[in-house]
Amino acid sequence: MEDVCSDKLLRQAVDTLQVKANVFDQLRDAMRIAPKSGSDGLNSDGGDEDMDAIKKGGEQFRQKLTSDPQYPGLGHYKKMIAQIDKYWDKLFADPILVDSPNSKVTIYPQRTNNVMERFFRDFKRGDRKKTGNISISRTLQAMLADTPLVRNLKNSEYLKILLDGCQSLEERFSRIESQEVRDELAKAKNSPEKIPAKIKKLIAQPKLLEIIARLFKKRA
């Protein structure tokens, strides 16, 4: 341990890492992403924040970093600032006002892809537990394109929209013509995706809708 602790190169690397971590914490604070005070890390849902205040914080962070006399020689920071500048308009895009059946709704574009990354991590973890495989490429290639949407059934608002006034998924599926389902699945055969043999057998089942309804009920 003494040799490790006295290693000059290692100590320099640790000092450099601490400086970078401090800068990263400043960025997190300015952008209101994965707050240091939280325990969820990248799984943080964030909170209700004023967009103008976040934008101002981002400007102050950028100004502080680029005004450092050593900045011109810090390539890693210059790359980070270049990325921020490239996506600045998307990071602080104006909200979109859309018409819904009941009233106008204000939608704020997502500033990061954190939601999708969280979904993918959860999907990857679940598949590894199920199959024991490190790679999930075969699973992704074999499944139908819209299969991951099943996870949205955990969202009460999504489920309410999907049910469209029905009391259960069974009732909702009863409104769907079986031929319509078969037509859509037949279209999937022509896609470049590989259709698993089990799915092909499922398509041929005379009670296809009942089977699908049971599968969705288990997921809900």
Q: What is the pLDDT of residues 139-178, one digit of tens each?
A: 777 776 677 778 888 888 888 888 888 998 888 888 888 7
Asked if residue 150 and residue 88 are part of one domain, the reply reads no
3-state secondary structure of 96: strand
- Let me know whether 150 and 77 are in one domain: no
Pair 153, 87 in one domain? no
In a domain, 78, yes or no: yes
Q: Which residue has the higher pLDDT, 56 or 49?
A: 56
Kindly state whether residue 86 falls inside one of the protein's structural domains: yes
Q: Is residue 194 part of a domain?
A: yes
Q: What is the pLDDT of residues 35-54, one digit of tens each?
A: 777 777 777 776 777 888 88
Token duo for residue 30:
């300015």
Tell me the residue ranges of DSSP E strands in the chain: 96-99, 104-107
101 within some domain? no
Of residues 62, 50, 70, the one with CA closest to residue 23: 62
Bridge partners for 96 per DSSP: 107
Q: Quick check: is 125 in a domain?
A: no
How many distinct structural domains can be found in the chain? 2
Q: Could you give the CA distance from residue 23 to residue 44 in angstroms, rounded to a whole number?
A: 20
Query: pTM for the complete prediction?
Result: 0.58
Q: Which residue range is the domain that position 52 belongs to?
A: 2-92
Query: For residue range 62-120, what is the model confidence (pLDDT) as tens digits?
Result: 999 999 998 888 899 999 999 999 999 888 888 888 888 888 888 877 777 777 888 88
149 and 88 within one domain = no
Last residue of a domain, one of 92, 120, 137: 92
**Cα angle 189, 191, 195; round to 5:** 50
- Residue 209 maps to a domain: yes
